[in-house]
Amino acid sequence: MYSLNFRLFNRLRESYWFWPSVLTLGAIILGVALPELDAVIGEKWTRAMVFVHASSSDGARAILTTLASATLGVGGVAFSITIVAVSFASSNYGPRLIGNFMSDRVNQMVLGVFVATFTYCITVLTTVRNGATVDSVYVESFVPQIAIYFALILGILCIVSLIAYIHHIPESINIMNLMEKIGENLRNSIIAMLDEEDERDRIFNNEIDVSSWDIDPDSDVPQAVLRSTSPGYLQHFDLKHLNSIAREHKVQIALERAPGDFVAAQELLISIRPADKASQSVLNSLASCYTLGATRTAVQDVTFLSDQLVEVLVRALSPGINDPHTAMLCLDWLRAGLAAFARRAPSQPVGPRDAVLYKRITCESMMERSFDRMRQHIASDRTVTLYAVGALADIAIVASRLSMVQACERQMKRLVRSALELQRESLAREEIEEALKGALEMVGRRRSSEIGEGPLRDV
């Protein structure tokens, strides 16, 4: 059930039909309720207000028909503009960034306002009638005045939405705004991940006796396994539920895959020890604790966001585009996320006697993953190479552990080594070597200054 809910939430968040459907349903309800309210109140209230003029049946039909046709046409144009923006972003920034546009709430709400207004006008239009005799029974004319004025309010709302939408679309495909959104999401996801790990450590650390799984992880203790039933990307693990299952049934659970990994059918996902306590009910409970999907998500896979920045950087430095400024922009936001990671004290590492064993993302592993994938592309450009060396030095300066500083220095040296091999101009090679020397000296001075407060060390 949890896996189904998580998958449904992800689809709703990135779907273009959810909010338009909700607003359309609301419009249908209002389109039925307001004419009923008009029938109860009558038209006397319009005579008591100077600024309100009652509409005739023909006038009401004209207003509603005009609004319905106009909003439907503009809604189609808005949808076309969105498709053009998505196509532009996909071809220039990478297809993995389409999700950022699909989950854009402004686009969803604007489309929903237009569709809902059209639906409301059509619904109200069916209630407008002239006086007529039907089967010898005279039916009085009916014009829902409140519903008509509410339709006019919706029309004004559509105009405001269109103006906001026209402003929003260029802003959303602006590379600076797009990188800011991804960079902020990366930074917030890293902080949220570390906070959740600290909270889990606080709750589950030494909570109960763990002697039932106090065994050597490398020993040949029989274990039960849970395999994937279908292929897809591992999107999420319910770690809280997994901890509860492990403690309730006195077993140790090891997650063999991490969020973001692609899993083929019948591949190993989870192992449980000892095997004699892994009953079928336990396996069924574990099967509801993970989610597979067609795409990666940023919920527990923070490297998905850093990979997006890397993808844009690589495209920017491709020979067909050759845009070093966009590459430096990606480095800025990647540095913002890694710096937030490096400043935090590390979470307690998962121990071999813990109830749930899983791989935690570290600052060093994220840095190596990102820079190893884009090093060759950065090294081919002298300006971006110098900028990347400075970015790595800045991360090293704020690092809370010696291993983080060493990882930054290692990446700087690898980058400079690649750049010296790729740069043909001797002056560029000299500048890169001087930049590396200056960066290492600056980091060294920072490390020396820490001696007074206690040297950097791993914990």
The verdict on residue 382 lying in a domain is: yes
Does residue 88 have a pLDDT over 50?
A: yes
Q: Looking at residue 200, what is its pLDDT? A: 74
Burial class (CB in 10 A: 0-12, 13-18, 19+), 283: middle
| The pLDDT value given to residue 204 | 63
Is 112 a member of any domain? yes
**Which pLDDT score, from 0 to 100, does residue 137 have?**
53
Which residue matches tokens 């009916």? 142
Closest CA to 430 of 384, 362, 382: 382
CATH of the domain at 225: 3.90.1170.30
**Residue 338 pLDDT class (50, 70, 90 cuts):** very high
In sequence order, which ranges of 103-257 are alpha helices (DSSP H)?
Answer: 105-125, 145-173, 175-204, 239-249
The DSSP symbol for 321 reads: T
Shared domain check, 247 and 339: no
How many Å apart are CA 378 and CA 423, to the nearest integer? 11
Q: What pLDDT is stored for residue 336 in this prediction? A: 95
Q: Is residue 159 part of a domain?
A: yes
Confidence band for 452, pLDDT divided at 50, 70 and 90: very low
Angle between helices 363-379 and 402-422 (to 10 degrees): 10
- Identify whether the C-beta of residue 147 lies closer than 8 Å to the C-beta of residue 38: yes
**Which stretch of 77-91, 263-277, 369-383, 387-401 has the lowest confidence by average pLDDT?**
77-91
Q: Is residue 458 part of a domain?
A: no
* % of residues, the chain, pLDDT over 90: 42
Domain-embedded: residue 235: yes
Question: Using CA atoms, how far apart are residues 169 and 88, in angstroms rounded to an integer?
Answer: 11
More confident residue, 337 or 143: 337
Residue 207, H or E segment:
none
Given a cut of 90, is residue 393 above it in pLDDT? Answer: yes
User: Average pLDDT in the 179-193 region?
Assistant: 92
Cis previous bond, 274, omega within 30: yes
Give residue 9's pLDDT: 61
pLDDT of residue 210: 47
Euclidean distance between CA atoms 369 and 375, whole angstroms: 10
Q: How confident is the model at residue 454 (pLDDT cuts 50, 70, 90)?
A: very low
For residue 1, being part of any structural domain is answered with no
Q: Which of 269, 293, 317 is the last residue of a domain?
A: 293
Mean pLDDT of 323-327: 93
| Residue, of 104 and 336, whose pLDDT is higher | 336
159 and 60 within one domain:
yes
Same domain (yes/no): 166, 228: no
Question: What is the pLDDT confidence band of residue 65, given thresholds at 50, 70 and 90?
Answer: very high
Domains of the chain: total: 3
Q: What's the pLDDT at 7?
A: 55
Determine the Cα–Cα distance for residues 383 and 419; give it in Å rounded to an integer. Answer: 11
Residues 32 and 76 in one domain: yes
Query: What is the C-alpha separation between 26 and 342, in angstroms, rounded?
Result: 47
* pLDDT for position 434: 95
DSSP state of 129: B
Residue 259 located in a structural domain: yes
Q: Considering the domain boundaries, does residue 2 fall inside one?
A: no
- What would the mean pLDDT of 413-418 be, rounded to a whole number? 96
SS3 227: strand
Tell whether 240 and 132 lie within a shared domain: no
Higher pLDDT, 110 or 93: 110
Find the range with the poorest average confidence among 74-78, 209-213, 288-292, 447-451.
209-213
Question: What is the model's pLDDT at position 40?
Answer: 83
Predicted local confidence at residue 207, as pLDDT: 46
Closest Cα partner for 260 from 358, 376, 392?
Answer: 358
Residues 185 and 169 both lie in one domain: no
Last residue of a domain, one of 293, 315, 334: 293
283 and 348, same domain (yes or no): no
Contacts of 416 (CB under 8 A, 6+ apart): 385, 389, 432, 433, 435, 436
Q: Are 385 and 439 in contact (CB under 8 A)?
A: no
Count CB neighbours of 162 within 10 A: 18
pLDDT for residue 313: 95
Do 357 and 406 fall into the same domain?
yes
Single-letter residue type at 243: N
161 and 231 assigned to the same domain: no
Hey, is 355 helix, strand or coil?
coil
Q: Same domain for 55 and 151?
A: yes
On whether the CB atoms of residues 141 and 57 are closer than 8 A, the answer is yes
- Three-state SS for 3-68 is HHHHHHHHHHHCCCCHHHHHHHHHHHHHHHHHHHHHHHHCCHHHHCCCCCCCCCHHHHHHHHHHHH
Q: Which of 426, 387, 315, 319 is closest to 91 using CA atoms?
A: 315
The average pLDDT across 11-24 equals 78
Residues with Cβ < 8 Å from 36, sequence gap 6 or more?
A: none
Are residues 189 and 240 part of one domain?
A: no
State whether the Cα torsion 34-38-41-45 is positive or negative: positive
Is residue 407 packed enough to be buried (19+ CB in 10 Å), middle (13-18) or exposed (0-12)? buried
How does DSSP assign 76-103, residue by residue? Answer: HHHHHHHHHHHHHHHHHH-GGGHHHHHT
pLDDT band at residue 54 using 50, 70 and 90 as cut-offs = low
pLDDT value at 356 more than 70: yes
User: What percent of the chain is modeled with pLDDT above 70?
Assistant: 84
Residues 25 and 159 in one domain: yes
- Looking at residue 242, its amino acid is L
Q: Indicate the pLDDT class of residue 219, thresholds 50, 70 and 90.
A: low
Residue 459 is predicted with a pLDDT of 41
Domain containing residue 380? 180-199+303-453
Among 293, 316, 331, where does a domain finish?
Answer: 293
**Residue 46 pLDDT:** 62
Look-up of token digits 């809604």: 75
Residue 58: predicted pLDDT:
84
